[in-house]
Structure 1
Amino acid sequence: MTDGPPTRIAIDHDDYHAEHVGHTADGRQFFLTTPFEPAGDDGGGAEFVALFLFAADGRFVEARIDAFGPRDGMDQVAARETYDARLAELGDVTFARIEVEPFAVERFGTTFGLIPEPPEDEDDGWWVILEPGDYMAFTAPWDSGGYDT
């Protein structure tokens, strides 16, 4: 078991959930992604475009999050255009590994971020989960750059 949550986690660029992670020309780090709230038995759910910005040293700076409602009624063209616009607003970027701090922000009544979760029992370790949607999960060693889905 580890002593506590990490102060930084690494996320390697890949062709899946970490396709758009990297560095801006001015040295900031970024993570552009599409979090979601799963639909429950009563329907609902929600789709989002989220751009998370970090200082060069990995400190969380800002979250720019757009909501598109439930997937079954979502304007997919608008969501794609927003995603592309969020990427374009960064200017020249380099897609590469980032090393950033865990964080949480509230928007639209939902918690977004790379959120530390403590061990469930004494033999477990800490996790950092990308929320909402729980679609990327990081565990020690925190500098590995990989994740579970």
Structure 2
Amino acid sequence: MAAERTRFPDGTPARFTIVPDDYHVPFAGTTGDGRRFFASDELFESSLDGSRSFVAVFFWTADGSFDSIDVRDAERPDGAPPAQGLPTQSEGVLDEMLLALGDYVLEPIEVEPFSEQVRDVTFGFVPTAFDGVVSITVQPGDFIAYYEPWDGEEYDT
């Protein structure tokens, strides 16, 4: 499946790096079959009629091209502010999804940005531009933003 690069702003890199850490990116790396992955239980969509939370694993092929997404609905933490990414209350869902990856290695991955609609919600690492500066944000929830030099060493939350 091809990423929707035609909608991305000028200056969007063909590839950027995601580096696993102990903060918002604990699960990024390579599966036993060579695919690249990023997993999170902090994805959310806020609206006037409430908020929805998700646990998801994003997949890219071994060469970093977008492949697919596995999305599960999850419970939003009680009292969570509408625009804040927090781990879901759906205990065990992320563990189950990680177990399905088989043997995996946590390591930096170089992947392409993408945007994919799942149940009327935009998921992906979506490039946007503000005042001529391109960033790539994790969606839904916009809780991580990557910038140049696209090395994954630093991001904004």
TM-score (norm 1): 0.85
CA contact (8 A) 1:4 1:126 kept: yes
Greater per-residue helix proportion: 1
CA contact (8 A) 1:22 1:97 kept: yes
- Gaps spanning 5+ residues in structure 2: where? 1-8, 80-87
Give the counterpart of 1:130 among 117, 122, 138. 138
* Partner amino acid, structure 2, of 1:56: A
Aligned CA distance change for structure 1 residues 50 and 144 (closer, same or farther; 3 Å) = closer
Does residue 106 of the first structure (1) align with residue 117 of the second (2)?
Answer: yes
Does residue 52 of the first structure (1) align with residue 63 of the second (2)?
Answer: no
CA distance in 2, matches of 1:12, 1:114: 14
Aligned CA distance change for structure 1 residues 26 and 70 (closer, same or farther; 3 Å) = closer
SS at 2:20's partner residue?
coil
Greater per-residue strand proportion: 2
CA distance in 2, matches of 1:63, 1:140: 25
Aligned-residue offset at 1:70: 4.3
TM-score (norm 2): 0.81
- Gaps spanning 5+ residues in structure 1: where? none
Corresponding position of 1:72: 78
Give the counterpart of 1:97 among 101, 108, 111. 108
CA distance in 1, matches of 2:133, 2:66: 23
CA distance in 1, matches of 2:22, 2:142: 18
* Partner amino acid, structure 2, of 1:101: E
SS at 1:147's partner residue?
coil
Aligned-residue offset at 1:69: 5.0
Aligned-residue offset at 1:108: 2.4
CA distance in 2, matches of 1:146, 1:99: 15
Corresponding position of 1:22: 29
CA contact (8 A) 1:45 1:71 kept: no
Aligned-residue offset at 1:116: 0.5
CA distance in 2, matches of 1:71, 1:109: 22
Does residue 147 of the first structure (1) align with residue 155 of the second (2)?
Answer: yes
Which entry has the higher C-alpha Rg, 1 or 2? 1
Work out the percentage of aligned pairs sharing the same amino acid. Answer: 40
SS at 2:78's partner residue?
helix
Corresponding position of 1:32: 39
CA distance in 1, matches of 2:23, 2:33: 25
CA distance in 2, matches of 1:36, 1:103: 18
SS at 1:80's partner residue?
coil
Cα RMSD (Å) of the superposition? 2.1
